[in-house]
């Protein structure tokens, strides 16, 4: 009966191997990123409670919209296996808040920085209406999200990759980006569109995009000065769509983007890195054409 015992042992060993494989594979969904557990995304809540950014058509501060959406995004990322995700909430007046934000982001040495904002318009486009007996400002002129990156980022290619993935995911869910940032009527707020398919613009001067020392992207999730879009931005359904788009884009980014060595990231001076990555820069405001080359 020795052969029976040997067969039994072989079957048991095979089962143990299969169980080990299953246990190893279990934490990751079939289409997830294998390094999700080690990957860190920072979800930055734009502005602070004290300096809350734009005011919506119905008088709600942008910071409230940013916080709500960023929390939904963080939840989605956790569900997708990104347990090291960090929700970055900053306090204090505007400029001080900006410095704190950048310092904290650098300390966290993350793989990705995504700043969440909601859009408004230049003051000259504002009209007046009354909400609950109070005069408020609105503009229904523009609607849609927009995505910004800086060519001065320490990882411009990574920033562009994530921005394009995010734009693609938003588009797949039927959400349209706003093209108005290429329009001359935007004056000094006019931006260059670097991915016309995904709605990615260049905004080189933005401090959080330039100085956070990692792939960095800013999402204006929609216009809260637009009366209809404000209601959409406040809805759980729309927040769920945007959060799912972000989580899928982070998964795709995590799979394809090769992280830089953290030691190298610290050792290399930011200034020289920035200079090497800006070969032929034309002024941001001068062109609204699509295409990656300057
Ligand atoms: Zn903002």
Cβ–Cβ under 8 Å, residues 214 and 111: yes
Cβ–Cβ under 8 Å, residues 57 and 104: no
> What pLDDT does 286 receive?
25
Share of the chain above pLDDT 90, in %: 70
pLDDT exceeds cutoff 80 at 86: yes
pLDDT band at 258 (very low <50, low <70, confident <90, very high): confident
pLDDT exceeds cutoff 50 at 264: no
Share of the chain above pLDDT 70, in %: 78
pLDDT band at 287 (very low <50, low <70, confident <90, very high): very low
| Euclidean distance between the first and the last CA atom of the chain, given in angstroms as a whole number | 78
pLDDT in tens, 88-114: 999 999 888 888 899 999 999 899 999
Q: How far is the CA of 47 from the centre of ligand 1 (A)?
A: 6
Q: How far is the CA of 177 from the centre of ligand 1 (A)?
A: 16
> What pLDDT does 174 receive?
97
Q: How far is the CA of 232 from the centre of ligand 1 (A)?
A: 17
CATH of 32-277, one of 3.40.1190.20, 3.30.230.10, 3.10.180.10, 3.40.630.40: 3.40.630.40
Q: How far is the CA of 4 from the centre of ligand 1 (A)?
A: 71
For 165, the enclosing helix (H) or strand (E) is helix 156-172
Pure H helices in 199-235: 207-211, 227-234
Q: Share the mean pLDDT of the chain.
A: 83
pLDDT in tens, 24-66: 343 445 578 999 999 999 999 999 999 999 999 999 999 999 9
pLDDT exceeds cutoff 50 at 198: yes
> What pLDDT does 98 receive?
87
Cβ–Cβ under 8 Å, residues 194 and 148: no
> What pLDDT does 47 receive?
96
Which residues are close to ligand 1, an ion, with C-beta < 5 A? 46, 53, 117
> What pLDDT does 163 receive?
98
> What pLDDT does 30 receive?
55
> What pLDDT does 24 receive?
39
Report the C-alpha gap between 5 and 206 in whole angstroms.
70
Q: How far is the CA of 100 from the centre of ligand 1 (A)?
A: 16
Q: How far is the CA of 52 from the centre of ligand 1 (A)?
A: 8
Q: How far is the CA of 2 from the centre of ligand 1 (A)?
A: 75
pLDDT in tens, 129-187: 999 999 999 999 999 999 999 999 999 999 999 999 999 999 999 999 999 999 999 99
Report the C-alpha gap between 104 and 134 in whole angstroms.
39
> What pLDDT does 121 receive?
96
> What pLDDT does 19 receive?
42
């Amino acid at each position: 009966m020795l052969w029976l015992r040997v067969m039994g042992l072989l079957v048991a060993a095979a089962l143990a191997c299969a169980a080990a494989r299953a246990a190893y594979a279990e934490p990751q969904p079939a289409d997830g990123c294998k390094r999700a557990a080690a990957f860190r995304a920072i979800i930055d809540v734009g502005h602070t409670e004290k300096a809350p950014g734009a005011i919506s058509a119905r008088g709600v501060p942008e910071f409230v919209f940013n916080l709500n959406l960023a929390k939904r995004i963080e939840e989605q990322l956790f569900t997708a296996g990104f347990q090291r995700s960090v929700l970055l909430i900053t306090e204090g007046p505007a400029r001080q808040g900006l410095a704190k934000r950048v310092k904290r982001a650098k300390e966290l040495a993350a793989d990705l920085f995504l700043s969440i904002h909601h859009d408004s318009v230049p003051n000259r486009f504002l009209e007046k209406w009354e909400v609950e007996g109070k005069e408020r400002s609105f503009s229904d002129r523009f609607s849609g999200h927009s995505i910004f990156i800086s060519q001065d980022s320490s990882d411009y290619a990574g920033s562009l990759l994530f921005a394009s993935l995010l734009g693609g995911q938003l588009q797949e869910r039927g959400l349209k980006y706003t093209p108005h940032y290429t329009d001359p009527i935007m004056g000094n707020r006019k931006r260059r569109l670097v991915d016309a398919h995904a709605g990615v613009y260049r905004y080189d001067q933005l401090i959080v995009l330039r100085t956070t020392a990692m792939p960095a992207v800013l999402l204006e999730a929609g216009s809260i000065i637009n009366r209809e879009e404000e209601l959409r931005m406040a809805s759980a359904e729309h927040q769920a769509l945007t959060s799912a788009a972000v989580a899928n884009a982070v998964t795709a980014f995590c799979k394809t983007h090769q992280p830089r060595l953290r030691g190298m990231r610290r050792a290399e001076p930011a200034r020289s890195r920035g200079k090497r990555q800006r070969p032929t820069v034309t002024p941001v405001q001068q062109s609204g054409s699509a295409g990656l080359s300057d």
